[in-house]
Structure 1
Amino acid sequence: MLLVTPWVEKLLGVCLKYIPHRLAGASLVTPVVNYWWSSLPANLTREAYYMQLPQDQWSLRVAHYAPWLNYWWQTQKLFPPSSVVDHSLKILSRQDSELKATWKKHENIAPVRQQGVHESIHRDMMIAFGRWEFDPIQLTNPFPQNEGTVHLWQGDEDMLVPVTLQRYIAQQLPWIHYHELPGAGHLFPYAKGVSDAIVKTQLSYDS
């Protein structure tokens, strides 16, 4: 299973918690980290939170504390919306910019937003940064007999998902196989050969 959106991430977390016997393994690729998960140290989340662009800090607050205002906030014209909604280049790392430059116009964006911005972006924000009924950091090993594996892939120059939080999660959950890619941003799965490497790694561990 390859994680691509926050709602899939949450569904996968539910599966790992309640029905791990139905999974053969899982690969999480730059999964979102909710700054309000109770198990994350306050000093760490505070530091990571304020590394985000001011417009994203406000968007995250709205998505968490007032999700019913999220659509209005992302569509009003008084304040800048989420940098993702705004197609801001400020959230692109060096590698992200290089990868984006190789894409044909709208080639990669259209499939991601084919259900509309509200369903694919606004709702994702509410799910990702809303209130979760469980804390993923408190998950126990879903495969205690090594009948499957969980992998987490993260770029160390990701401008959307802070690597410091991902490192902490990997330290707290040693049963996760953590793969940190030097120089990689948020779009590293689009780099040549990376997706194949992720799938091959999963299969090699679970075979």
Structure 2
Amino acid sequence: MSTADTVVHIVDDEETVRNSLAFLLSTAGFAVRVHESATQFLALAGEITNGCLITDLRMPDMDGVELLRRLRASDAMLPAIVITGHGDVHMAVEAMKNGAIDFIEKPFSEAVLIESITRAASRAAERVQSQAAMDAVRQRVASLSERERQVLAGVVAGHPNKTIALELGISPRTVEVYRAGLMGKMQARSLPDLVRMVMDVRIDPV
């Protein structure tokens, strides 16, 4: 997944600003969608799988800080950049506390905006790749047999083969066989790799 696949969502109540930003970013090679209000954007934010956000701070229906708060509360946060006027730096800092990765003061140069959006798009693409990797791990765990999942739970808990064998009522050699099999199914290169996979997706194998 590359930054070229990332859609930049522009939220601003001023049509001239939306259009000028959209033209600039489109010319720079970004896919762009514009939204005339924070409320309009929130209505579809949960459906966005690979996007980043550029939003004005001061808008009549909902300011940029509140928009970010609601995105976080609904688990729909995107890599976000806020555009701020000269007197709004305090608000911009609040926006960063609520998840924005950058803020840009008006007036800004095209180069500064493009650089910031490129970073946001890269972060969005990385997040999609990370989510895909976690989904793949969950699918691998789901493919394990019940006994393999029991052995995996013991391994993740840090138990030696003898302890796992005693708990499951099987021999240590059988535990080794199951462990070798689940290592292959999980596509783990090593025991630490296996444990890290399961810990990263925060699932209970059993």
For this structure pair, what is the TM-score category when the shorter chain's length is used for normalisation?
A: under 0.3
TM-score normalised to the size of structure 2? 0.26
Would you tell me which structure has more strand in proportion to its own residues? 2
TM-score normalised to structure 1 length: 0.26
Q: Which structure's relative contact order is higher, taking Cα pairs within 8 Å and 6+ residues apart?
A: 1
Question: Which protein has the larger Cα radius of gyration, Structure 1 or Structure 2?
Answer: 2
